[in-house]
């Protein structure tokens, strides 16, 4: 493995920030994009690696790769449509650490030759798949890392659910990169929970007034969950405030019980909160508590497709615990911190625990099941 692949390994979600001036699907994105200024800004904002378009169809050239190499120490992915060993050699000389290989355009023999040449030159190959057939080919070729693209290169349409299915089915021992369609923290989070090590983000950055700020926003943690939602108008308030997750409590004993999981905007993840046994609710995630003495137990897990992806550290039912934050801080893996949170204490809790997500419900209400818009906005702002 080379510098590029190594930069994408390890805990937490990594980001490959892409510099491009235009795209065939969206047209001009940032015609004046200058790698000399963008590369350092994206590095400072948390990029683990940079993707540089070197193809004229994207307004790029090999000179952009050379420029980026001169101003950043980050690993560089050369992105284009490559089909010859000569091209791979040129990219190496220009400063690339990795090259993109599109299985849509290469048969297995061609891909194998290019991967071998890249390895001989000390380059990683990001082998890109768009469907299950191409994913199978990438696995058989021994590709690592593997890119899983949400964009159909024929229609240019985005299908993030299809991308997540590919991530689900890809081998966990490989480095997996979710490409295209990432424009909100919720998009990045769902890719992460599916098993992606990294996201590749281009268009969303190039369209933003400040690409570095947009990248930092996509990677920002903790995620913010507003729970106990029962009305569509409260879902809208939470979304407009910038919450990443919408929680719907389906347990019968809850005073803020929702009758169903309501639709949420594309910028949010829906979470069904259950007590006892899991059931199919149509939500993106399930927050599952045990049941004891006729109410929810303290412990809970966050599930995706029945698999635990985080631990929920909550307070006892209608109780308190002076060691609550200590318990959360001692919990390994992704932690969603819940219990008694609101604008007045969430910043201190985040500082003490550094959770993956924070969750508030009862203290954001005007009455049980009815949110106070001002309290919701204040909580989300404080959690940021």
- Higher model confidence: residue 241 or residue 279? 241
Mean pLDDT of all residues belonging to the chain: 95
In percent, the amount of the chain with pLDDT more than 90 equals 88
Token code pair at residue 241: 């405030």
In the residue annotation, 320 being an active-site residue is answered as no
pLDDT tens per residue, range 169-180: 999 999 999 998
Residues 178 and 55 reside in one and the same domain: yes
What CA–CA distance (Å, rounded) separates 303 from 289? Answer: 11
The active-site residue, picked from 51, 125, 128, 134, is 128
* Domain boundary, last residue among 219, 254, 275: 219
Instruction: Render pLDDT for 26-56 as a digit per residue (tens, 0 to 9).
Output: 788 999 999 999 999 999 999 999 999 999 8
Task: Mark whether 175 and 285 lie in a shared domain.
Answer: no
Instruction: Please indicate, yes or no, whether residues 150 and 252 belong to a single structural domain of this protein.
Output: no
Catalytic residue, candidates 43, 45, 79, 254: 79
**Can you list the pairs that 61-68 forms with residues at least 24 positions away whose Cβ atoms lie under 8 Å?**
62/90, 62/91, 62/94, 64/19, 64/35, 65/91, 65/94, 65/95, 65/96, 66/94, 66/95, 67/34, 67/35, 67/36, 67/39, 68/19, 68/35, 68/36, 68/39, 68/95
Domain count across the chain = 2
- 311 and 376 both lie in a single domain: yes
Sign of the C-alpha dihedral computed for residues 319, 322, 328 and 331 taken in this order: negative
Query: How much is the pTM?
Result: 0.93
Tell me what percent of the residues of the chain surpass a pLDDT of 70. Answer: 99
Residue after which a domain boundary falls, among 219, 248, 281: 219
23 band by pLDDT with thresholds 50, 70 and 90: confident
User: Does the pLDDT of residue 1 top 80, yes or no?
Assistant: no
Q: What is the pLDDT of residue 153?
A: 65
Can you give the C-alpha Rg of the chain in angstroms? Answer: 22
Q: What is the pLDDT of residues 246-301, one digit of tens each?
A: 999 999 888 999 999 999 999 999 999 999 988 999 999 999 999 988 889 998 99
Q: Which residues in 308-331 are b (16+ Cβ under 10 Å) and which e?
A: ebbbbbbeeeeeeeeebbebbeeb
Answer yes or no: 305 catalytic.
no
Which domain, by its residues, includes 289? 223-383
The answer on 191 and 244 residing in a single domain is no
As given in the structure block, the two tokens for residue 292 are 């004891």
Q: How far, in Å, are 104, 239, 345 from residue 265 at the CA level?
A: 32, 7, 27
Q: Looking at the structure, tell me whether residues 78 and 168 fall in a common domain.
A: yes
Q: Let me know whether 273 and 377 are in one domain.
A: yes
Dist CA 22 CA 153 (whole Å): 15
Instruction: Give the model's pLDDT for residue 10.
Output: 82
Q: What is the model's pLDDT at position 157?
A: 81
Specify the CATH number for the domain of residue 205.
Answer: 3.20.20.70
Residue 240 annotated among the catalytic residues of the structure: no
- One domain for residues 112 and 241: no
- 206 and 65 together in one domain: yes
Give the pLDDT confidence of 193-240 residue by residue, as tens digits.
999 999 999 999 999 999 999 999 999 999 999 999 999 999 999 999
Report which DSSP code applies to 362.
G
* 176-179 vs 146-149, strand pairing mode: parallel
Q: Establish whether 149 is a catalytic residue.
A: yes
Residue 307 catalytic? no
Residue 128: active-site member: yes
């Amino acid at each position: 493995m080379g510098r590029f692949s190594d930069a994408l390994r390890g805990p937490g979600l990594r980001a490959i920030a892409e510099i491009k001036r235009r795209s065939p699907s969206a047209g001009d994105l940032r015609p004046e994009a200058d790698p000399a200024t963008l590369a350092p800004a994206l590095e400072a904002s948390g990029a683990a690696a940079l993707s540089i378009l070197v193809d004229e169809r994207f307004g790029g050239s090999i000179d952009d790769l050379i420029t980026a190499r001169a101003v950043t120490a980050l690993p560089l992915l050369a992105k284009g449509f490559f089909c010859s060993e000569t091209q791979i050699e040129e990219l190496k000389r220009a400063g690339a650490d990795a090259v993109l290989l599109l299985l849509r355009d290469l048969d297995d023999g061609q891909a194998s030759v290019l991967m071998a040449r890249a390895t001989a030159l000390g380059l990683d190959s990001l082998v890109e798949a768009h469907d299950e057939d191409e994913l199978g080919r990438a696995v058989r070729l021994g590709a690592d890392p593997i890119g899983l693209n949400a964009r159909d290169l024929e229609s240019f349409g985005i299908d993030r659910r299809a991308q997540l299915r590919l991530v689900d089915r890809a081998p966990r021992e490989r480095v997996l990169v979710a490409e295209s369609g990432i424009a909100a923290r919720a998009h990045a989070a769902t890719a992460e929970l599916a098993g992606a090590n990294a996201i590749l983000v281009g268009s969303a950055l190039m369209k933003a007034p400040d690409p570095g700020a947009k990248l930092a926003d996509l990677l920002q943690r903790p995620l913010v969950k507003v729970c106990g939602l029962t009305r569509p108008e409260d879902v809208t308030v939470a979304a407009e405030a910038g919450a990443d997750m919408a929680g719907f409590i389906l347990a019968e004993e809850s005073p803020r019980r929702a009758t169903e999981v309501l639709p949420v905007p594309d910028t949010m993840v829906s979470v069904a909160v259950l007590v006892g046994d899991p059931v199919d609710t149509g939500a993106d995630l399930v927050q599952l508590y045990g049941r004891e003495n006729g109410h929810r137990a303290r412990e809970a897990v966050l599930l995706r497709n029945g698999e635990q992806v985080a631990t929920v550290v909550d307070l006892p039912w209608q109780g308190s615990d002076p060691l609550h934050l200590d318990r959360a801080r001692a919990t390994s893996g992704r932690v969603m911190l819940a219990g008694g949170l609101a604008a007045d204490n969430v910043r201190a809790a985040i500082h003490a625990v550094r959770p993956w997500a924070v969750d508030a419900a009862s203290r954001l209400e005007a009455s049980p099941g009815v949110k106070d818009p001002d309290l919701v906005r204040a909580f989300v702002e404080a959690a940021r």
